[in-house]
Amino acid sequence: MDPIISLGICLVILRGAFVLVKDSVNILLEAVPKDVDLEVVQRVLKAIPGVKDLHHVHLWTITSGIHALSAHVLVGDIQMSRTGEILQEINNLLKEKFRIPIPPSNSNAKIARKALPVIWIGYALR
């Protein structure tokens, strides 16, 4: 009877170890979190009025339950003050639709004006 109980305990430990190693490998490879669909995030952000394109979108897990997101958001030929409104709308969508809380002061958001303005957003998300 003892060998059967020991085998059962070993199987439970092996299952837990497998899950832990799998999650660790996904974190080390900076894989997209399994609970967030990146294509849906991109589609929703591209649907915001004023957003022309979205590229260099990266969503990965830093550690269990903490995600990071960075992206370049290409906006049309609009006033610079409107880019702040678009950034606020991005923040609201990420928070409400994807349950990704945004820091109160988004010090990582940068607006670069070249041919067309690009908003770079980078978040460490919980």
**Per-residue pLDDT tens digits for 23-80:** 888 888 888 888 888 999 999 999 998 888 888 888 888 777 777 778 888 887 777 7
Q: Are residues 38 and 81 in the same domain?
A: yes
Q: Are residues 84 and 103 in the same domain?
A: yes
Residue 22 contacts by C-beta under 8 Å, 6 or more apart in sequence?
none
Contact (Cβ atoms closer than 8 angstroms) between residue 113 and residue 82: no
How much is the pLDDT for 68?
Answer: 76
Q: Are residues 36 and 11 in the same domain?
A: no
Q: Are residues 8 and 61 in the same domain?
A: no
| DSSP conformational letter for 55 | E
Separation CA 96–CA 91 (nearest Å): 9
Given pLDDT bands bounded at 50, 70 and 90, which one contains residue 96?
A: confident
Q: Are residues 40 and 7 in the same domain?
A: no
Does the pTM surpass 0.85? The reply is: no
For the cut 90, the answer to whether the pLDDT of residue 103 exceeds it is no
Q: Are residues 103 and 44 in the same domain?
A: yes
SS3 51: strand
Q: Are residues 80 and 57 in the same domain?
A: yes
| DSSP conformational letter for 47 | T
Range of the domain at 50: 32-125
Decide which of 111 and 77 is more confident.
77
Q: Are residues 110 and 72 in the same domain?
A: yes
How much is the pLDDT for 42?
Answer: 92
Contact (Cβ atoms closer than 8 angstroms) between residue 102 and residue 91: yes
Q: Are residues 9 and 36 in the same domain?
A: no
Q: Are residues 16 and 59 in the same domain?
A: no
Structural domain count of the chain: 2
For the cut 70, the answer to whether the pLDDT of residue 18 exceeds it is yes
For the cut 90, the answer to whether the pLDDT of residue 16 exceeds it is yes
Q: Are residues 13 and 64 in the same domain?
A: no
